[in-house]
Amino acid sequence: MRYTFKIGDELHKVAPRSLADELVLTIGDAECRVEFEHGKGGRCNVTLDGKSYDYWMARDGDDIYIKMSGSYFKVAAIDPCAAAAGASAGAGAISAPMPGVVVEMLVREGDSVVDGDKLLTIESMKLQSTIRAACDGVVGRIHVSVGSEFNKDDVLVEFENDD
């Protein structure tokens, strides 16, 4: 299984697997053997392919803050289910959960949809995700088309108001 972590503004794909008593992580295209040692007060040690690093770690909800070698990093795990569902930009709008490109449009303006209907397929970092309707409604305005690139939080689809 692959996981996605956001470190600063960069997304990193990580695939863990174990070999006998070792943990091996594939990070991007590189593989490394990993050993963790958690100390008290947030002090930790990680050994990557035999090279040891001390760091301090603190959690705030799902976010992890790390201080290593005088630098600070915020690490956030990205839930693939939440990312694929899309984030709501406001009542009646679906925004992009991550930057990417539109691969397939599955609705048109004026179409009626119900909660869970597929609206469009996006691709981000070679991973395709389906954006689904978060409620029943009528598609009002579509802001993207096949091949369109978008940024995180850009509005993709708006729904008509039920005044």
Tell me the pLDDT tens digit for each residue of 133-162: 877 889 999 999 999 999 988 899 998 865
Alpha helices in 49-138 (DSSP H): 80-85
Assess whether 112 and 47 both reside in one domain: no
**pLDDT score, position 1:** 58
Q: Count structural domains, the chain.
A: 2
Could you tell me which residues come within 8 angstroms of residue 23 by beta carbon, excluding any fewer than 6 positions away?
16, 17, 33, 34, 35, 36
Q: What are phi and psi of 126, to 5 degrees?
A: 70, 10
Assess whether 15 and 30 both reside in one domain: yes
**What is the reported pTM?**
0.46
Assess whether 95 and 146 both reside in one domain: yes
Domain ends where: 46, 78, 110?
78
Domain ends where: 50, 78, 106?
78
Top mean-pLDDT range of 4-18, 28-42, 64-78, 114-128: 114-128
CATH code of the domain in which 53 resides: 3.30.700.30
Residue 114's domain spans which residues?
80-159
Q: From residue 68, how far is each of 10, 31, 44, 46 by CA, in Å?
A: 17, 21, 10, 11
Assess whether 49 and 116 both reside in one domain: no
Domain ends where: 78, 101, 133?
78
Assess whether 68 and 100 both reside in one domain: no
